[in-house]
Structure 1
Amino acid sequence: MRIDLHCHSNLSDGQLTPEQLVMRAAQMQLDYLALTDHDAVAGVERARSAAQAYGKGAPDIISGVEFSCQWQGFEIHILGWHFDVQHPAMTRLVTQQQQTRRDRAAAIGAKLVKQGVAAEHLPPPVEGQVLTRAHFAAALQSHGYVSSVQDAFRRYLGKGQCAYVPTPWCSIDEAIAAIQAAGGFTGLAHPLAYQLSSKWLKRLIVAFKEAGGEAMEVASGQQEPKQRQLLAQLAQDYDLAASVGSDFHYPGRWRELGRNLTLPAECRPIWASWNLA
């Protein structure tokens, strides 16, 4: 069974529409795909409709989301899967998070204008789309203010830089509670991406588990074997299930839907109880 539980459409910071993602997943011969846009679930039904229209060979679409959370001064991402996208608890938190994103986007824009960026060069708001820092980085690059997206974060958007805006995201507990109230399952996204020390990473995993978290992302496409083994061992040590995800954003050389996502044999897949064919 080929499954990918972490990807993004252009309704957050991906480049492909939900419909295009379904087509690409079919080309990659995926059986199951979870669309996990940042603080957004609007793409799930579009992806399901596209899969139904595509017919045989399309992946089954699993509902998904990736919530940004505040924890001990860090921005931590919590994945949710297999939930009711219309459940009131999910709707409330998505609405809250999207308002937070709109407020942050306005504040980032104001800071960039103060730094000499022309207002017309800022990313325009698009109906149904969640603006992320990646959108601002891409706009700065396309208009020649920086040489790359990485340069935009280094000079403007990264923590401590002139256009960085501290953001009052929801807590890990709130994200997990909303996902589970909607009947879903929860995972800690890309645990090594936060660049925490071993001591702090273990503190994060404990906090996640104490809040009711069920899984951690063990297998990702861009990963050294020793990193996968470390995460598999941590999942075992803390009695957490394991998830897999490409964190796909756009077609490219280094990251692809469903690629290199095999779990180590000792892991317990989060989807084992989902009654997937």
Structure 2
Amino acid sequence: MSSALHLLNADLHCHSSVSDGTLTPEAVADRACANGVQLWALTDHDEVGGQQFALEAAHARGMDYLTGTEISVTFAGKTVHIVGLGFDHTHPGMVDGLAFTRGGRERRARDMAADLARVGIPGAFEGALKYVGNPDLISRTHFARYLVEVGACGDTHEVFRRYLTEGKPGYVEHRWASLGDAIRWITQAGGLAVIAHPGRYDFTPTEEYALFTEFKAHGGLGVEVVTGSHTVAEYARYADMAVEFDLLASRGSDFHDPNESHTDLGTLPDLPGKVTPVWEALQARIHRA
């Protein structure tokens, strides 16, 4: 692999107001460009509605672009995210699959609001809607912003410590797509599937090994090694996992908002030298500026 490819400033995981980010796709593109991103992908949750806007914005700013999305799946009783890169965002199987995955979010959100009302936080559904660019994608992040607004917590990180996570008020489990479904939608649309931020799932070693094994068996080809929620030790750990499972390595900030996100677009360290960058396998799928 060439060092130029390996050291490319690629940010292949971030969100816009099409899902649970706060900036438009064009504003995210502005920020990525300002931070030196050369190859960009917008990966909104379970949605491809922002892809054409993002592609055009990337080219207008001189960046290469890969189509992207982040699909919610249920694995071992937990929600796991699978990033798709380099697919045809108009492919019917992908579009219909994501529409299926989005189904049930409103019902879940209303149950979350009812649970929050029981602990003295009324009106959370209507409050969360104020922060939603796409009502089909109402999520815990939108509730978190409302809880900060009404003073229930000081910031969104405190919200997730006290509410909206398993065992806390406002948490409602939702069954998403299966791992096999998500990978099939991505690959049939010509893309490549990547396990997003594996360090976040708090799996046992056995569960994590099962995730990687099943992911690979379904045709998944990549894993996020360097991402906003990983520690330096986790960069090394998941580089080793990428080598062990013969997976390509991805890099992405998981940026949502200038004030909420730990890591800004384009500011992550380079991938470890031992791994093969995912964009090396996607050269034919990159929309060149």
Confirm or deny a common fold (TM above 0.5): yes
State whether residues 29 and 58 of structure 2, in contact with CA within 8 Å, keep that contact through their aligned partners in structure 1: yes
Q: Does 1:42 align with 2:26?
A: no
**Relative contact order, CA 8 A, sep 6+: which one is greater?**
2
Structure 1 letter corresponding to 2:275? C
Contact 1:100/1:169 (CA < 8 Å) preserved in 2?
A: no
- Give the secondary structure class of the aligned counterpart of 1:122: helix
What do the CA deviations read for 1:200-237 (whole angstroms, capped 9, x no partner)? Answer: 22121112111211011111245433221111111111
Shift of 1:162: 2.7
| Contact 1:39 1:98 (8 Å CA) reproduced | yes
In 1, Cα distance between equivalents of 2:228 and 2:113: 33
1:114 to 118, 142, 150: 118
Maintained 8 Å contact 2:19/2:133: no
Deviation, structure 1 residue 127? 5.5
1:102 match: secondary structure: helix
Aligned to 1:211: 218
CA contact (8 A) 1:78 1:188 kept: yes
Matched, 1:163 2:144: no
Q: RMSD across aligned C-alpha pairs, in angstroms?
A: 1.9
Tell me whether 1:201 sits opposite 2:205 in the alignment.
no
Alpha-carbon distance, 1:255 to partner: 0.7
Letter in 1 for 2:179: I
Aligned identity (percent) is 36
The amino acid that maps onto 2:129 is: P
- Aligned equivalent of 1:265, options 254, 269, 273: 273
Specify which of 118, 134, 142 is matched with residue 128 of structure 1.
134
Q: Which runs of 5+ in 1 are unaligned?
A: none
Shift of 1:152: 2.4
| Conservation of the 8 A alpha-carbon contact between 1:7 and 1:34 | yes
Contact 1:245 1:261 in 2 (8 A): no
Preserved contact between residue 188 and residue 215 of structure 1 (Cα < 8 Å): yes
Q: 5+ residue gaps in structure 2?
A: 1-7
Deviations 1:62-107 (A, max 9, x none): 1101111101111111000111111111111111111222221122
SS of corresponding position for 1:38: coil
Q: How many residues align?
A: 274
Select 1:177's aligned residue among 168, 175, 184: 184
The equivalent of 1:255 in structure 2 is 263
Change beyond 3 A, Cα 1:147–1:224? closer
Contact 1:216–1:243, Cα closer than 8 Å, also in 2 = yes
1:96 equivalenced with 2:100 (yes/no): yes
1:81 is matched with 85
Equivalent pair of 1:220/1:261 in contact (CA under 8 Å): no
